[in-house]
Structure 1
Amino acid sequence: MSNKLVLVLNSGSSSLKFALIDAETGAASLTGLGECFGLADARISWKLNGEKHETQLPGLDDHHQKAIDVIVGIVNEMQVEDRLVAVGHRVVHGGERFAKSVRIDQDVINGINEIQDLAPLHNPANLMGIHAAMAAFPALPQFAVFDTAFHQTMPPKAFTGAIATELYEKYGIRRYGFHGTSHYYVSREAAKMLNKPVDESNFISVHLGNGASVCAIHNGQSVDTSMGFTPLAGLMMGTRCGDLDPGIIEFLMKKGWSQDEIFNTLNKKSGFLGVSGVSSDARGVLEAMEQGHEGAKLAFDVFTYRVAKYIASYLVALDSLDAVIFTGGIGENSLPIRREILKNLKLLGFVEDEKGNEDARFGAAGQIAKSEMLGAVALVIPTNEELVIAQDCVNLM
């Protein structure tokens, strides 16, 4: 057992995910979720030693701090104070200022605050978690790990938008990309599976979940990714539209739609939910498709087609390919979706290993296909973003 535990916090606008991670083994002795912040039914639930617990958070405000207080109580009861060495915070947007994880001080807090316009739903919530944790654990070093940091190695040709340069210079409008900790983790694990140095490895990492993105990784570094200035771009997702003709926004505004209505629809009523009319969850879509629901079948077809298109297009960013990596809730578990994506990649020579694909689910990694033409394989690797955050904290200490 390691002597180094890190409390990992992922603070959202109305939620707070947390885990107590062993920085060496990756084992989580405590996991939990605070949700419905700002509402009367705000609550926090956690799993400790295999047992589930839940309690309500009183009042209608200050729920981030109240959740942290509950977490402090749990940690104290666990009597691990002598092994708890740091608090690690997931911060969604680091802009161009934060190209790697950093120890949090007032200057870092000011920097995160200055770029909150780039992620108005996420960065202010991340800061609430940081302030609450700093008040609760004043003696512990605290670190910020940025979703965007891994993608700061993208070349200008990949991150530059084809718009007036002044929009980049004045407002920082460019491609930033997200899911960086996930793409970083699975690419390192893939290199280990292939027994190849990561800085000599080329991958296309496919993170498929309620949020979804693809990343081209050349010699271990991100060189392109599908999410853009915000997490709305790229692939079709659970409720997000992904790539969209911006002229549609102007068209809807002329039809009388407000800005809030448009972006609420694009962020919360599109993707699987919008196309299927059934569910934002891939499992619900697959179930409806099996029952003959036409909208669900269309959602399945659009999603798998778009993922395959991105994978194929990212060969342009690489000079060779070692593996396509599937990860995230859908990527790790959905056999039908992976199977259809591989079928769409038939021109690239991928042949599915049916048994391997069936076995690589529910926490199991494995090889699911091979392309003799490209000299590449398709892998499934469960992601572990919390471990990346914990290890970054310990390394920075």
Structure 2
Amino acid sequence: MWTLVLNCGSSSVKFALLDVQGGQVRLSGLAERLGSAGASARVEVDGARRVVDLAGGSYAEAFAVIAGALDELGVRAQVGAVGHRVVHGGERFSAPALITPEVLAEIRACVPLAPLHNPANIAGIEAAQAAFPDAAHVAVFDTAFHQSMPEVAFRYAVPGDWYRQHGVRRYGFHGTSHAFVAVRAADLLGRPLSELNLVTAHLGNGCSVCAVQGGRSVDTSMGLTPLEGLVMGTRSGDVDPGLHDYIARQAGLSLSEITAALNRESGLLGLSGLSNDMRELEEAAGRGHAGARLALDVFVHRLAKQMAGMAAAMGRVDGLVFTGGIGENSAWVRGAVLARLAVLGARVDEAANAAAVRGQSGVISAPGALAALVVNTNEELMIAQQTQTLLAEQKGVQA
């Protein structure tokens, strides 16, 4: 049985068709700019790529393209399960869930916690249920992995009623990625995951670090929303909460305008005044661009501090793990961070670090130093595995 994995954003649908047992990907692609005149879908079927225009730019059109590609492969009837990435599950979900009307209502209730993400996830679920009515649909939550955090890690020092009545607490995100790379890191180190304390760093346009103790999240850098924590592509990460009132008065901006700027105009883009793309910034810094150099230095400074903090949250660290588009491909970022983490016993192997790009996983630490690894994340495979595990468990219960 094939599993279709869907990651629906406000203007995009990322998709992949996987054989969970063999890890084979038959179909993958991205429908983007949905809702606009320039909508299109990039589709890869058995290695052959093509682009399809989506004249109406709707979710329904995107799913029609996916269904058509499945028909082309002759496997549409074999899609028994659809795994949906859902960003926010609040405190309600600590594991994947079969999507029922009640579960969908719970996901809808989390919209105030993720107003940019959950509505798109819901729209994708509804469109997929219409396109694949005979398949089992499962929600896999970004926040679920972090529900194991202790209260000392997830509570904010704010009035208690804010938490009890409004759910104001730290939830964390990128959970499927942190969980996946922790398992792979244990394999690469040849040690049981249950014995390891790992600091995992998911670094892409969105960035977060996580303290993974014995395979469980015990702390992470993102909080109530994905805005907290590290410097990211266009997100600020941590700022003084007093900034909102100050900028509102000084610049005459509304709270929503300030929040939008912190999400879309800040981070690497805001610091550099040039780009949110790490590759472009590294090239520009090499040419002497001052803004690019500042963005890189702030990114690394904040990342090293957060990774050291995660080590402190566990009391011991056995390995540092880099993943995501930046973590897997920027040898400069990894080397600069490990140099700052010499206090933890980290030291980079320059040759191994330089070689760990373009899909190459492996150990990049010098002999005798704290283990540091590059691990390629595969959130689609993790979602598919969790989807099939849930369905197998439910079959066992029903039997």
Distance in 2, Cα, partners of 1:123 & 1:305: 32
Asked if 2 retains the 8 angstrom alpha-carbon contact of 1:349 and 1:371, the reply is no
Deviation per CA, 1:194-223: give whole Å up to 9, x if none: 222212211000110000000001111000
Question: TM-score, length-normalised on structure 2?
Answer: 0.96
Q: Secondary structure at the match of 1:350?
A: coil
Q: Secondary structure at the match of 1:235?
A: coil
The reply to whether residue 354 of structure 1 matches residue 350 of structure 2 is yes
Amino acid aligned to 1:282: M
The reply to whether residue 6 of structure 1 matches residue 3 of structure 2 is yes
Structure 2 residue corresponding to 1:319, chosen from 315, 321, 324: 315
Structure 2 residue corresponding to 1:331, chosen from 327, 348, 353: 327
Amino acid aligned to 2:379: E
Q: Alpha-carbon deviation of 1:253?
A: 0.8
Structure 2 residue corresponding to 1:42, chosen from 31, 39, 42: 39
Structure 2 residue corresponding to 1:83, chosen from 67, 78, 81: 78
Structure 1 residue corresponding to 2:229, chosen from 216, 230, 234: 234
Q: Alpha-carbon deviation of 1:59?
A: 2.6
Q: Alpha-carbon deviation of 1:143?
A: 0.4
Asked if 1 retains the 8 angstrom alpha-carbon contact of 2:345 and 2:370, the reply is no
Q: Alpha-carbon deviation of 1:268?
A: 0.5
Distance in 1, Cα, partners of 2:259 & 2:294: 23
Structure 2 gaps of 5+ residues are: 392-399
Q: Alpha-carbon deviation of 1:25?
A: 2.5
Instruction: Describe how 1:86-235 pairs up with structure 2 within 5 A.
Output: 86-235=81-230
Asked if 2 retains the 8 angstrom alpha-carbon contact of 1:215 and 1:225, the reply is yes
Q: Secondary structure at the match of 1:362?
A: coil
Amino acid aligned to 1:396: L
Asked if 1 retains the 8 angstrom alpha-carbon contact of 2:173 and 2:226, the reply is yes
The reply to whether residue 366 of structure 1 matches residue 394 of structure 2 is no
The aligned counterpart of 1:388 is: 382
The aligned counterpart of 2:286 is: 290
Percent of aligned positions with the same letter in both sequences? 49
Distance in 1, Cα, partners of 2:225 & 2:313: 21
Aligned residues between the structures? 390
Find runs of 4+ consecutive structure 1 residues off by over 6 angstroms. none
Q: Alpha-carbon deviation of 1:73?
A: 1.0
Distance in 2, Cα, partners of 1:82 & 1:228: 40
Q: Alpha-carbon deviation of 1:370?
A: 4.5
Amino acid aligned to 1:378: A
Distance in 1, Cα, partners of 2:43 & 2:351: 35
Asked if 2 retains the 8 angstrom alpha-carbon contact of 1:348 and 1:371, the reply is no
Structure 2 residue corresponding to 1:31, chosen from 28, 35, 55: 28
Q: Alpha-carbon deviation of 1:265?
A: 1.1
Deviates more, 1:257-266 or 1:104-113: 257-266
The reply to whether residue 262 of structure 1 matches residue 258 of structure 2 is yes
The aligned counterpart of 2:13 is: 16
Question: TM-score, length-normalised on structure 1?
Answer: 0.96
Asked if 2 retains the 8 angstrom alpha-carbon contact of 1:350 and 1:371, the reply is no
Distance in 1, Cα, partners of 2:62 & 2:113: 26
The aligned counterpart of 2:397 is: none
- Calculate the aligned-residue CA RMSD, in Å: 1.2
Deviation per CA, 1:117-145: give whole Å up to 9, x if none: 11011111001110111111111101000
The reply to whether residue 273 of structure 1 matches residue 272 of structure 2 is no
Amino acid aligned to 1:9: L
Deviation per CA, 1:338-374: give whole Å up to 9, x if none: 11111111222211111111121111111111484xx
Structure 1 gaps of 5+ residues are: none
Deviation per CA, 1:4-62: give whole Å up to 9, x if none: 321100000111111111111322211111111111111111111222111211236xx
Q: Secondary structure at the match of 1:369?
A: coil
Structure 2 residue corresponding to 1:342, chosen from 338, 350, 358: 338
Q: Alpha-carbon deviation of 1:83?
A: 3.5
